Structure 1
Amino acid sequence: MHAKETLFADLMQGRAQQFQVPLYQRTYAWTEKHLKQLWSDILEQARLLGSPGENGSTHFLGSVVLAPSPQNDATFPRWLIVDGQQRLTTLSLALAAIRDHVADTAPVEAQRIGEQYLINKWKSGNDHLRLLPTQADRQQFAAHIRGPRTDLDTDSGVATAYAFFRKKLVEADDPAAPQDVYRIEQAITSRLALVAVTAERGDNVHRIFESLNNTGLKLSQADLLRNYLFMKLQARGEHVYETYWLPLQRSLSNDELEQLMWLQLVLDGDDRVRRQDLYAAQQRHFENTKAGDAEIEAYIKELHRRSAHFRRLLHPEEEPDPGVRAALRRLDAWQAAVTYPALMLLLDRRERGELDSAGTARALAYIESFLVRRMICRVPTNNLNRIFQAVPGQLPLDVPVTEGLHRLLSSENRFWPDDAELREKIRTAPFYQYGRWQQRKLVLQRLEESYGHPEPVDFAAAQLTVEHVMPQSPGDEWLRALDEETDEGETAEELHARFQHTLGNLTLTAVNAELSNHPFERKQGLLRGSHLEMNRRIAATERWGVREILARADELADRAIALWPAPLRGVGRAERNRDWQLAHQVLAALPHGTWTSYGDLAAFLGSGAQAVGNHLANTPGVVNAYRVLTSEGKVSDGFRWAAPQDAGSDDVRARLAADGVRFTATGAADPAQRLTADDLAALLAGTDDDRADGEDTAQDGTAGAPGEETRAERFFRQLAADDSPETVEAVRVLFAHWESLGGWIGHGAGHVTTSAYLMLGGAGGPGRGIWPMTLYPGAGRGGTAEVVFQYMAAREPFTDRALRAELLARLNALDGVDIPEGKLELRPNIRLSLLEKDRNQELLIETLTWFRDRWEGRASS
């Protein structure tokens, strides 16, 4: 028996061999949580590979315990994987995804990847696979390694992992932060370190497995560094601890202290260090410089000094200058922790006398503008940490600090949108679907403040939410008015989808929901009486349609351009490329058994359906391009493959059927499997969007000030305004049963759109527990129960897709419910009126009891 550090490439490539997962092993079980962490580590290693002169440390992935297989022979070594099959299976699927990602453009490279890591070229049958999973996973894994991938089991974790990597590789093509796919391959194969423990016949491999997995409570990076510092300090340890460290520790939590330590490293020039490597990096610095007591005391003293700056980022009210304080408050509301290296630099330069408060406020305005303009123009945020970590080291030295920051952020590779791009996106982009809720609200708040009303609204006290003037669920009167403005070949519904979420159609309001979907004339009275200037201006118009939305968008664009400074020079008109990249990402994320339309994709992008069709027809390599159909669910007459297809694979309907798309008797794709523009936005939002922990954060709805309507009362009032008394009573019965199961009813904070969560776990918000459904009053269309599969996927035990699939099957047993499997990644709705049927109510209560039992049994499973 021996152990050695190795790499995936060293383990897998070379002579023909096979790694076998024993039949007694559990099936592949990594969830999206594990996959996201691995992908983050892979990208970090790929970045290190792309940094000249900087290799950094490899990432330790874990151990692999191997033993000779009983089927082993001298010409074809076979190994049993006693431990580590999850890692090896995941890395193999990631490489299969890379192979398929480059297959159209670089077939020779695709073949190389397959032969080096995935297959034994001259072997057949099971021996063809370099990794042979347990029998339960074998068919699915082989389908992804060999192809073609038809009739796949979408409940398979293998299929889910492969789809995850295909989607992430499309995202990696983002022009705002491009990642070289071959560098990603190299990171997987040669930058992820493994410890391979190889046993001889007769060794107790299970004892090895137990010892490798015997872990205790880990110390934080701050704990490790503190212990190191005071172990090194000799004579002055007590003095330094009492004078600097103890006040520092009292003013910051352990997590905040760790963040400050990391920021100090970044500010001192180590802009590549990861927070999880803080201890090793700082220890290496001290060892390399042979630091003694004086140097370590100076480090702690400097940490103490900078803690006052850091606290102002966390608590802006501690900043004495009003201009700087207001800017810090806005960045705090934006949740802009990613900007902390630049903010700490500015506060440090001000304390050193290199910058006054006016200059600091102006520099903060550039940072705010950089964030806001990128958010409005939908520039991805995935490279923001690198941009701001690099500020201390890249700030120009030949100009004052404020001008230097303006110049640095204006560089073309920073993607700070210019005035022309900002104006276009305010007119066309679905603002409501991007960024977080507090960011959208802050943009509208700043725009309202720009009017300079003599009696400004107290936004801190006002319970304002974002409201659509043209409603999200338009009635017939709205659609008839829109029909007058449609272009040839466009429906009123498609026009509505294109403009409903644009900034010109959004405002802030505290009005009640029962009028939210009524015709514009009914809204005018409410808006006219608003304290907000923007609402009074909307009310002054005679009608509300596309022309008015665009006119208001132009007015808001003028104000946005004045509010948020532009970059020093134009950053190029690359936004269209970014929009197409967004299209590629969302198409790669389409779940099995779903399709979308040209109009839906256009509305999601803020584009036109014809432009979408032209792009897909002329761009090779777009994943799932054939799943974009007409609004009737038909293959477009103008559809053509953008690149030559494999023999026999050019039948679009056959490809759709293989992807789980059903067809009606008329030959159209099943409309129940269609993903709307809102569904597409939810796909990319993932599990961390507004309803998870934001505007609608669940709280007990029974408490309230004396004489004030409680959240629970508001919910039922709004529900009764739209649904029958029988439906309202059925919901009350459902809530009572849920509480008898040990759950509680949380209610959202929204006034215009209120909500009710069926919660399990600690009170205080969905992030602290789990909830299977969120109920919404109908606002003109009938109340609904939203089944939150998307959020369950990040919460145990429902990270297991098979459990979510069972929940789907149980819900589909209700009469009138038919949720397609493709929406298992989303948040499909059930009409609350269905609960008027006694049998449906019984089945739903049984389902919720099953859900509760699975959740309570998670700890022992």
Structure 2
Amino acid sequence: MQAKETLFADLVQGRAQQFQVPLYQRTYSWTERQLGQLWADILEQAELLESGDRASTHFLGSVVLAPSPQNEATFPRWLVVDGQQRLTTLSLALAAIRDHIADTQPDEAERIDDEYLINKRKSGTDHLRLLPTQADRPQFAAHIRGPLETRAGGGNVGTAYSFFRRKLVEAEDPTAPQDVFRIEQALTSRLTLVAVTAERGDNVHRIFESLNNTGLKLSQADLLRNYLFMRLPTLGEHIYETYWLPLQNSLSNDELEQLMWLQLVLGGDDRVRRQDLYASQQQHFERREISEAEIEAYIRELHHRGALFRRLLHPEEEPDPTVRAQLRRLDTWQAQVTYPALMLLMDRRERGELDSPETARAMSYIESFLVRRMICRVPTNNLNRVFQAVPGQLPRDVPVADGLHQLLSADNRFWPDDDELRGKIRAAPFYQYGRWHQRKMVLQRLEESHEHPEPVDFATPQLTIEHVLPQSAGDEWMRMLHEDAATTETPEDLHVRLRHTLGNLTLTAVNSELSNHPFERKQDLLKGSHLEMNRRIAATERWGAQEILARADDLAERAIALWPAPLRGIGRAERNRDWQLAHQVVAALPHGTWTSYGDLAAFLGSGAQAVGNHLAGTPGLANAHRVLTSEGKVSDGFRWTSPGDGGDVRARLTADGIRFTVNGAADPAQRVSADDLALLLTGADETEAHGEDAAQRTAQGQGGETRADRFFRQLAADDSPETVTTVRALLHRWEEGGGWIGHGAGQVTTSAFLMLGEAGAPGRGIWPLTLYPGGGRGGTAEVVFQHLAAREPFTDRGLRAELLGRLNELKGIDIPEGKLELRPNFRLSLLEEDHNRELLAETLTWFRHCWDTRDTA
């Protein structure tokens, strides 16, 4: 048996060979959680390569190999006893890179194939450098062999390949562009493996067990503390009691580790990673012989900065009211990424280099930078780099606040100017970007800008975001929108385009009463609001397109006054970013789904014609052929833009899993709406926060009415008595089976969650369905596949697919497989049928059984 450190490139390159996954191995099972962590590691290594750091590689894990019984002298074959998940994932990532560059650099694509993926002169299964289990083999082979139109979709293999295709499109983002060949180099030559090669007769399973026995690791803070105090033979006790123990008592271990990292960053190290904290600080101390006095000085400085750091974590401890207000807003925003810049400002103020008003002004630039980027939908993937670089890049020849303003205004920081802010507030779907607490804070700040003589105490009322024009608009609303719709736009298109824009959103504590009522009813309720913005909405005669856009313009001017602009604009980069977002979301379309030009335009805050022109003129855009007209037809103006494409578009769509109706239109059930597109680029975190928050607040009522009562009141206002009775029986049966019902505060109406797990324990609950009253269009049950993908045991795509299959047995339900990544719904009225009720009850019993047996499976 031999064990050695190696790289993926060294392992698979060279002469023709094959790595075979034994048939007894489990199938490929990595989910987006593991894929996301690997991608972050790959990008980190790519950045280190860019900086010239070639020493800090990333250890990926072990691979245990044994000679295959089919081994030949001229064609070595190895059994992959352990490590098939890693090898399969890296191979799929390389296949995605190959296909990403195939149109523009075909020679490089062929090189990737030859070096890592195939045995060029072999045929059949020997053609593949990696041969998965039989269950995964067809999908894997389809993605490795191509061509594109023959590839199978679905399954964990297809999901992983699509994940990397999507991430490669994101990596082209102008805010933080990544070179695709540097990504390839990081993947093949910077992720280290321990390859354990067994001889015939070795007990490879015992080797596997020993490699996977792990204990509780010491944190970076633990390692550095031990290192420091081992070098304090005479002063250790005094320093520990005077500085270290108070510091340790004031911060958690994680916070202490973060402070130690910030200490290095404030010293100008803009590349150090938290996981490398110990090694970096050790290297700093060991450059020369260091004395106990110097270590004491380091710990004393750490202790001093610990008090400043606590003010970032607990803004109420900041004595100056203007600085305290800024810190509170940034804390509400959950802006931990800005800590290097904030600590720099606190440190400089402590040294007397700027006063509190100047500190608050500098912090206002940080707040504006975050808020304007969120409103204008600038991706957040480079914020760590931006703020970690502040201490080392801050200009020294200007005052601190002015220097920070200047630094953040650089073109490559993408701080939106006033014109872009105005345009995005008018057109962008604000409700679908950022996190819910960030959206709420923006609206709160806009309300505060009215400077009402009796301002609202935002800490007390349970304000939520209300759509004035409802998300699900009834007939009266649609008749009004018909008056406003242009000749080329339907009322439905206008509704989709305007409903999530900032001009249509407000804050209220009575949104359950507002619900989906006509505007006249909403006016009466909004008139009595304590919020100035609501009284102004109530003062208008109607609420259509013109009123929403006029309010958007007013809010834009308030936003410009609240959040300072950069020193110079970002020019044409704004348009490039918008199209980059389009590329990302189109690349993310799951197998078996399509979207329309109008849906994509509403998601972007653009026009359908502009979207069509861009897609038609952009070569190599993944999945561009899956953007169709609203009727599900291929646009008359569609043309293949890449030399490698061509042929019949409908045949290509069929190969992509799109079904067609008898009149030749794509199946509307497979259409991905504007709301679905937004879900594709968000994780399950928003869904989980919503559900768990609802679960924790189940027992609360409002005005003497419990949330359960409110849910059924709203349901009864829109659905038949039979449907209401059926839903009551469904919830009762769920509780009898050991589940419980969580009722949400609701963003438009209330809701009911069919919960399992421990109430009030974030991260531990799970729910298969969320029920919503219909607000004029019939109540619905939302199947939360997106949430389930982050919860065991339903991280297994096969289990989610089984849930989908069981639901599709109900008459009237036909959820396409492509929506396993989303949150499709069906009408609650379908449950009036006896057969459907029984099938759903059996499905929910099966779901509970999967949950109950997850630890013993």
What aligned pairs does 1:241-640 form with structure 2 within 5 A after superposition? 241-640=240-639
Check whether the contact 1:701–1:745 (CA below 8 A) recurs between aligned residues: no
Mapped to 2, the partners of 1:303 and 1:503 lie a distance apart of 43
Q: 2:464, 2:747 within 8 Å by CA — same for their partners in 1?
A: yes
Distance 1:324 1:493, change over 3 A: same
List gaps (5 residues or longer) in structure 1: none
Q: Which amino acid aligns with 1:676?
A: S
Secondary structure of the structure 1 residue equivalent to 2:641? coil
CA distance in 2, matches of 1:700, 1:139: 45
Partner of 1:355: helix, strand, or coil? coil
Q: Give, in angstroms, the shift of residue 189 of structure 1.
A: 0.8
Name the counterpart of 1:180.
179
Structure 2 contact 153–656 (Cα < 8 Å) conserved: no
Return the match for 2:788 from 788, 792, 812: 792
Query: Contact 1:166/1:588 (CA < 8 Å) preserved in 2?
Result: yes
Stretch deviating more after TM superposition (797-806 or 728-737): 728-737
Supply the AA of the counterpart residue of 2:797: R
SS in 2 for 1:619: coil
TM-score (normalised: structure 1): 0.97
1:24 is aligned to 2:24: yes
Aligned to 1:50: 50
Match of 1:805 among 794, 801, 807: 801
User: Which is worse superposed, 292-301 or 370-379?
Assistant: 292-301
Describe the SS at the equivalent of 1:288: coil
The alpha-carbon distance between structure 1 residues 188 and 724, as it changes in their structure 2 partners (threshold 3 A), is: same
CA distance, structure 2, for counterparts of residue 221 and residue 810 of structure 1: 47
Q: Is the 8 A contact 1:432 1:502 kept in 2?
A: yes
Question: C-alpha deviations, 1:667-720, integer Å up to 9, x for none?
Answer: 11111111110011111112122x321597123555347973333333233223
What displacement does 1:207 show?
1.7
**Quick check: 703-712 or 510-519, which moved more?**
703-712
Distance 1:590 1:55, change over 3 A: same
Which residue of structure 2 aligns with residue 731 of structure 1?
Answer: 727
Which deviates further from its counterpart, 667-676 or 260-269?
A: 260-269
The answer as to whether partners of 2:142 and 2:150 remain within 8 angstroms in 1 is no
Code of the residue aligned with 2:523 in structure 1: it is Q
Shift of 1:285: 2.0
SS at match of 2:848: helix
In structure 1, C-alpha distance between the alignment counterparts of 2:703 and 2:614, rounded to whole Å: 58
Report the alpha carbon displacement of residue 64 of structure 1 after superposing the two structures with TM. Answer: 1.2
Aligned with residue 815 of structure 1, among 779, 799, 811 = 811
CA distance in 1, matches of 2:134, 2:754: 39
Conservation of the 8 A alpha-carbon contact between 1:787 and 1:827 = yes
Q: Can you list the C-alpha shifts for 1:373-413, whole angstroms capped at 9, x where unaligned?
A: 00000000000011001111111111111111000000000
Shifted more, 296-305 versus 602-611: the winner is: 296-305
1:129-140 residue pairs with structure 2 within 5 A? 129-140=128-139
| Residue of structure 1 equivalent to 2:668 | 671
2:60 alignment partner in structure 1: 61
Which residue identity does 1:610 align to in structure 2? Answer: Q
Deviation at 1:519, TM superposition (A): 2.2
Question: What whole-Å deviation, never above 9, does each CA across 1:582-627 have from its counterpart, x for those lacking one?
Answer: 1111111101111110100000000111111111111001110000
1:286 & 1:674 partners in 2: Cα distance? 59
Whole-Å Cα distance in 1 between the matches of residues 144 and 712 of structure 2? 53
Q: Which moved more, 1:798-807 or 1:310-319?
A: 310-319
Counterpart amino acid of 2:36?
K
Q: Deviations over 1:220-239 (max 9, x none)?
A: 22222222222332122222
Equivalent runs, 1:64-79 vs 2, <5 Å: 64-79=63-78
- The structure 1 residue matched to 2:682, chosen from 674, 680, 685, is 685
Rounded Cα–Cα distance in structure 2 between residues aligned with 1:49 and 1:551: 49
Tell me if the contact between 1:696 and 1:748 (Cα under 8 Å) persists in the aligned partners: no
Q: CA deviation at 1:494?
A: 0.7
Q: Does 1:114 align with 2:110?
A: no
- 8 Å CA contact 1:759, 1:766 repeated in 2: no
Partner of 2:763, secondary structure, is helix
**1:634-660 deviations in whole A, cap 9, x for unaligned?**
1111111122244xx521111111111
Hey, what does 2:12 align to over in structure 1? 12
Unpaired runs of at least 5, structure 2: none
Cα pair distance change 1:444/1:281, threshold 3 Å: same
CA displacement at 1:55 relative to structure 2: 2.8
One-letter identity of the residue aligned with 1:685? T
Q: Distance in 1 between matches of 2:122 and 2:544?
A: 66
Which moved further from structure 2: 220-229 or 659-668?
220-229
Distance in 2 separating the partners of 1:56 and 1:741: 56
Query: How far did 1:311 drift?
Result: 1.1
Query: Any idea what SS the aligned residue of 1:487 has?
Result: coil
- Counterpart secondary structure, 2:264: helix
Match of 1:719 in 2: 715
Amino acid at match of 2:661: T
| 1:511–1:751 Cα contact (<8 Å) kept | no
Deviation, 1:442, is 0.7
Distance in 1 of aligned mates of 2:667 and 2:575: 31
- Measured in 1, the distance between the counterparts of 2:373 and 2:733 equals 46
Secondary structure of the equivalent of 2:135? helix
Q: Distance in 1 between matches of 2:179 and 2:191?
A: 17
The answer (yes or no) to whether the contact 1:730–1:836 under 8 Å persists in 2 is yes
1:155, distance to aligned residue in structure 2 (A)? 4.2
The one-letter code of the counterpart of 1:197 is V
Q: Secondary structure at the match of 1:203?
A: coil
1:753 alignment partner AA: T
Contact 2:470–2:499 (Cα < 8 Å) also in 1: yes
Alpha-carbon displacement from aligned partner over 1:486-543 (angstroms, at most 9, x marks no partner)? 2333211111111111111111112243443222222222222211111111122222
**TM-score normalised over the length of structure 2:** 0.97
**1:698–1:764: 8 Å Cα contact kept in structure 2?**
no
**Alpha-carbon distance in structure 1 between the residues aligned to 2:151 and 2:853:** 30
Deviation, structure 1 residue 158: 1.2
* Cα offsets for 1:721-740 (capped at 9, x unmatched): 32233322322222222222
> Percent same amino acid among aligned pairs?
79
Cα distance in structure 2, aligned partners of 1:765 and 1:418: 42
2:327 corresponds to which letter in structure 1?
Answer: L
Would the aligned equivalents of 2:465 and 2:747 in 1 still touch at CA under 8 Å? Answer: no
Q: Deviations over 1:167-188 (max 9, x none)?
A: 1101111111111101100000
2:484 partner SS: coil
| SS of the residue 1:373 aligns to | helix
| Distance in 2 of aligned mates of 1:489 and 1:272 | 52
Distance 1:312 1:707 in 2: 38
> Among residues 777, 781, 784, which one is paired with 1:781 in the alignment?
777
**CA shift for structure 1 position 151:** 6.0
CA distance in 2, matches of 1:706, 1:534: 23
State which of 838, 842, 849 in structure 1 corresponds to 2:845. Answer: 849
Deviations 1:193-248, CA, capped at 9 Å, x for gaps = 11111222222222211111111122222222222222332122222222222211
Determine if contact 1:467/1:509 at 8 Å carries over to the other structure. yes
SS in 2 for 1:768: coil
Farther-moved stretch of structure 1 (721-730 vs 595-604): 721-730
